[in-house]
Structure 1
Amino acid sequence: MKIAFYGSSLLSSYWNGAATYYRGLLRDLAGRGYDISFYEPDAFDRQQHRDIDPPDWVRSIVYPATAEGLSAVLAEAKAADIVVKANGVGVFDKELLEGIVEHSRADAMRVFWDVDAAATLEEMRADESHVVRRMLPSLDMILTYGGGPPVIDAYEGFGARRCIPVYNALDPDTHHPAEPDRRFAADLAFLGNRLPDREKRVEEFFLKAASALPARRFLIGGNGWESKAMAENVHHVGHVYTHQHNAFNSTPLAVLNVARDSMADIGFSPATRVFEAAGAAACLITDAWEGIETFLKPDEEVLVARDGQDVAEHVRALTPERASAIGRAALTRTLAENTYAHRGAQVDAIFKRTAQPERSAA
């Protein structure tokens, strides 16, 4: 089957945390025989900060972020059996969702893939004319980056035919243990862009812990933090490219995951970084959120913190031996249950169940 996928970027993770999610899932689906075209706009300097060249398992189309560019790529939707619009493209999000409905064939499967479901649902509650609310009757399903029962119930309450979480996972060919890199040496490292609904949690879980442990070294990577006031023991390394993630995760004593407000509130939303860290056999400390035990076992495969004081206590008590044991256990669990091969098999089964005989014959 042919898939036309309209997303933020496959080629760049610059201000685009979903990049590795797209890569892992679509690469696996391509290996299962899907013919995939990925359409991304030339916007936000992402093409100037590419992590990868166009891979051979997908047809990669970068289009001008103009009305003419939009029209050209939407015209190609009619050639696809499955048409997917992901949220958070950043330009023409409304027009893209309306466009995949208008330009796809009547027998095509239409999917909205929500990589920020909590934020989308909040917008939908506040706006009866929201484009996703209006398009739900024309969509075959909603797939989400995470969210569990609260997100499923909310979407189906709005009238979605089906809402199915497809969680982040590990691509073991891309993220794996690596040799330490002294640039990333630290007792605790955090990687994430500076976003409004994440910043306060970073202040609590990372910066507060750093202030409590002035003799320890803390490292923060990601875009936007250069103007943030931080303690002297915190070092900012700026944007960390995907090919540097393994060294970033393998070098420190521990790495920290901090969920955005919306993701923490709904639970069941492990960030990409959780599985990237596990793939590198890193000792992960995560802020507490409902459903963590679905993916990693607290105290054995991950350390869970309720606040910055807990983070500081974990770092203070952590030995290299215990950190190594937790990281190895996380890697073993993740390889057994949470790789993109597992997620690809899930999505393949969803698509095949939805492609009913009458649809195929249409």
Structure 2
Amino acid sequence: MKIAFYGSSLLSSYWNGAATYYRGLLSDLARRGYDVTFYEPDAFDRQQHRDIDPPEWAKVKVYPATEEALRSVIAEAGRADVVVKASGVGVFDDELLEGVIAASRPDAIRIFWDVDAPATLSELRQNPGHALHRAMPSLDLVLTYGGGPPVVEAYEGFGARRCVPIYNALDPSTHHPVPPDGRFEADLSFLGNRLPDREARVEQFFLEPAARLPQRRFLIGGNGWETKAMPQNVRHIGHVYTRDHNAFNTSPLAVLNIARDSMASTGFSPATRVFEAAGAGACLITDAWIGLELFLKEGEEVLVARDGKDVAEHVEALTPQRAKTIGEAARARILAEHTYSRRGAEVDAILRQEAAQKRERSVA
């Protein structure tokens, strides 16, 4: 089957947390025989900060952020068996959603793939005129980056025929243990962009522990933190390219995961960083959120913090040997249960089922 996927970016993770997710899932689907074309706008300086070259497993069409180019890429939806509009493209989102649905063939599977379901659902609640409300009756599927039962129930309440969470996972060919790198040495490291619904939790779970432990070394990577006041023992290194994520995860004593406000309140929303860190064998400390036990076991495969004091206590008590033991246990669990090969098999089964149902309806 031919997949036309309209998303933020496959080639760049710059201000684009979904890049690893897209790459892991789509490369696996390609290995299963799908013909994938990914459409991404030339916007937000992402093309100037590419992490990968165009891959062999997908055609990537980068289009100018203009209405003329938009019409051209929308028209190509008509050649696909599966048409996917992802959330958060950032350029002409509403026009893309309505356009690719209108351009797709009647027998095509139409999907809205939400990589930030809590935010999208909040918009749907607040805006009765949201484009997704209008599009919902024409969609065959809503797939989500996470969210579990709360997200499924909410989407079904808004009229989705079917909503299925497809969680983040690990691609062991790209995220794996590597030797430590002096650039990323620290007692605790955090990687994430500065966003309005994350900043307060970064202050609580990262900057507060740093202030509590002035003798310890803290490292923060990601965009937007240049103007943020931080304790003297915190080092900021800016954007970290995906090629350096393995070293970023293997070099410190522990790595911190901090969910955004909406993700933490919704639960069942492990970030890509969780699987990247586990894949590298890092000792992960995470803030608490509902559903964590589906992915990692507290105290054995991950350390869980309810506040900044907990983070500081974990760092103080952690020895290199215990960090290694936790990291190895996390890696074993994720490799066994949470790879993109497993997620790809899940999506493949869903698409084949939808295709069969569409054929049955057309005959009837």
* TM-score w.r.t. length of structure 1: 0.99
Give the counterpart letter for 1:191 in structure 2. L
Give the counterpart letter for 1:174 in structure 2. T
Q: Write out per-residue CA displacement over residues 80-119 of structure 1, whole angstroms, 9 at most, x where no aligned residue.
A: 0000000000000000100111100011000000000000
Indicate the residue corresponding to 2:334 in structure 1.
334
Give the counterpart letter for 1:47 in structure 2. Q
Distance 1:293 1:265 in 2: 16
Residues 246-265 of structure 1: matches in 2 within 5 Å?
246-265=246-265
Offset at residue 356 of structure 1 (A):
1.8
Distance 2:310 2:32 in 1: 44
Give the counterpart letter for 1:73 in structure 2. V
Indicate the residue corresponding to 1:46 in structure 2.
46
Q: Write out per-residue CA displacement over residues 66-85 of structure 1, whole angstroms, 9 at most, x where no aligned residue.
A: 00110110010000000000
Indicate the residue corresponding to 1:270 in structure 2.
270
Distance 1:190 1:303 in 2: 14
Count of aligned pairs between the two proteins: 362
- Give secondary structure in 2 for the equivalent of 1:39: strand
Give the counterpart letter for 1:236 in structure 2. H
Distance 1:140 1:22 in 2: 20
- Give secondary structure in 1 for the equivalent of 2:215: coil
Indicate the residue corresponding to 1:99 in structure 2.
99
Residues 209-248 of structure 1: matches in 2 within 5 Å?
209-248=209-248
**2:142 is equivalent to residue 142 of structure 1:** yes
Q: Write out per-residue CA displacement over residues 3-56 of structure 1, whole angstroms, 9 at most, x where no aligned residue.
A: 000000000000000000000000000000000000000000000000000001
Offset at residue 296 of structure 1 (A):
0.2
Distance 1:250 1:100 in 2: 42
Indicate the residue corresponding to 2:154 in structure 1.
154
**2:197 is equivalent to residue 192 of structure 1:** no
Compute the RMSD of aligned alpha carbons.
0.8
Distance 1:272 1:132 in 2: 25
Offset at residue 357 of structure 1 (A):
5.5
Q: Write out per-residue CA displacement over residues 165-219 of structure 1, whole angstroms, 9 at most, x where no aligned residue.
A: 0000000000000110001000000000000000000000000010000000000
Residues 170-185 of structure 1: matches in 2 within 5 Å?
170-185=170-185
Offset at residue 359 of structure 1 (A):
2.7
Residues 308-347 of structure 1: matches in 2 within 5 Å?
308-347=308-347
Residue identity (%): 73
- Give secondary structure in 2 for the equivalent of 1:75: helix
Q: Write out per-residue CA displacement over residues 275-325 of structure 1, whole angstroms, 9 at most, x where no aligned residue.
A: 000000000000000000100000000000000000000000000000000
Give the counterpart letter for 1:230 in structure 2. M
- Give secondary structure in 2 for the equivalent of 1:196: coil
Distance 2:243 2:203 in 1: 27
**2:55 is equivalent to residue 58 of structure 1:** no
- Give secondary structure in 2 for the equivalent of 1:193: coil
- Give secondary structure in 1 for the equivalent of 2:286: strand
Indicate the residue corresponding to 2:111 in structure 1.
111
Indicate the residue corresponding to 2:355 in structure 1.
355
Q: Write out per-residue CA displacement over residues 311-348 of structure 1, whole angstroms, 9 at most, x where no aligned residue.
A: 00000000000000000000000000000001000000
Give the counterpart letter for 1:179 in structure 2. P
Distance 2:78 2:192 in 1: 37
Distance 2:359 2:55 in 1: 31
Distance 1:99 1:355 in 2: 21
- Give secondary structure in 2 for the equivalent of 1:355: helix
Distance 2:259 2:100 in 1: 31
Q: Write out per-residue CA displacement over residues 139-186 of structure 1, whole angstroms, 9 at most, x where no aligned residue.
A: 001000000000000000011000000000000000000110001000
Distance 2:194 2:61 in 1: 28
Distance 2:184 2:54 in 1: 28
Distance 2:308 2:184 in 1: 21
- Give secondary structure in 1 for the equivalent of 2:197: helix
- Listed as ranges, the gaps of 5+ residues in structure 2 are none
Indicate the residue corresponding to 1:307 in structure 2.
307
- Give secondary structure in 2 for the equivalent of 1:224: coil
- Listed as ranges, the gaps of 5+ residues in structure 1 are none
Offset at residue 358 of structure 1 (A):
4.8
Give the counterpart letter for 1:57 in structure 2. W
- Give secondary structure in 2 for the equivalent of 1:197: coil
